[in-house]
């Protein structure tokens, strides 16, 4: 029941973003499906700030929803094409196998490199982490780590291959649960 209370506002937020989102991203693996909308909140000469809403569904009926603010820019970088970013995200997770629900507020960082000589190609990586103090419900922490290589096949449309790992430790010495721990293929469309 707690998860439904958290899921409804996230889905309503996702629906309201659909009309104004400038990016939609979908990636698939054998065991997971991920969807994300990103809508710009601000853009200036230093970079951009996006509002991101996402959902992950697993083959074992686990469900993860997230909403966050991510900033990315070339501030402080002496390497052309290299950008750094920071993020804050809220997660709501329902683990079907463990019959657990949890929430987490993470802090994160990311880096993206697109060589000036091959600006249609990019590699990026990120990490988001919530320690015990910002994790609620049936978990003691949450971590999401990912990396990918992407290629812009058309203006505003990129394909990519990547890897993502999302783990959480259940409370009271419970086991570590991996919601995702594998490679995926994806598509990002900007409009």
Which ranges in 77-123 belong to alpha helices (H)? none
CATH number at residue 13: 2.40.160
Query: How many domains does the chain fold into?
Result: 1
Contact 116, 77 (CB under 8 A): no
Q: Which residue range forms the structural domain that includes residue 58?
A: 2-190
β pairing state of 135-137 and 121-130: unpaired
pLDDT in tens, 11-47: 444 444 444 449 999 999 999 999 999 999 988 777 8
Rounded Cα gap, residues 167 and 124, in angstroms: 20
Rounded Cα gap, residues 19 and 14, in angstroms: 9
Q: Spell 112-137 as b/e; 16+ CB within 10 A means b.
A: bebeeeeeeebebebbbbbeeeebbb
Residue 77 confidence (pLDDT)? 65
- One digit per residue, pLDDT tens: the chain, 191 residues? 444 444 444 544 444 444 444 999 999 999 999 999 999 998 877 789 999 999 999 999 999 999 999 999 986 668 889 999 999 999 999 999 778 999 999 999 999 999 999 989 999 999 999 999 999 999 999 999 999 999 999 999 999 999 999 999 999 888 999 999 999 999 999 99
Look at residue 30 and give its three-state secondary structure.
Answer: coil
* pTM score of the predicted model: 0.84
Rounded Cα gap, residues 15 and 48, in angstroms: 22
């Amino acid at each position: 029941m707690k998860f439904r209370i958290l899921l409804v506002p996230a889905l309503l937020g996702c629906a309201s973003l659909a009309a104004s989102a400038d990016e939609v991203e979908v990636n698939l693996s054998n065991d997971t499906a991920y969807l994300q909308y990103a809508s710009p909140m601000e853009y200036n000469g230093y970079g951009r700030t996006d509002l991101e809403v996402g959902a992950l569904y697993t083959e074992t009926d686990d469900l993860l929803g997230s909403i966050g603010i991510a900033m990315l820019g070339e501030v402080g970088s002496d390497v052309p094409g290299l950008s750094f970013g920071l993020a804050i995200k809220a997660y709501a997770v329902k683990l079907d196998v463990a019959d657990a629900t949890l929430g987490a507020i993470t802090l994160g960082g990311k880096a993206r490199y697109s060589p000036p000589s091959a600006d249609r190609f990019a590699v990026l990586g990120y990490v988001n982490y919530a320690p015990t103090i910002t994790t609620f419900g049936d978990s003691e922490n949450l971590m999401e780590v990912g990396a990918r290589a992407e290629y812009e096949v058309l203006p505003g449309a990129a394909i990519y291959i990547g890897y993502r790992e999302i783990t959480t430790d259940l409370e009271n010495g419970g086991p570590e649960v991996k919601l995702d721990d594998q490679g995926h293929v994806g598509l990002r469309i900007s409009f």
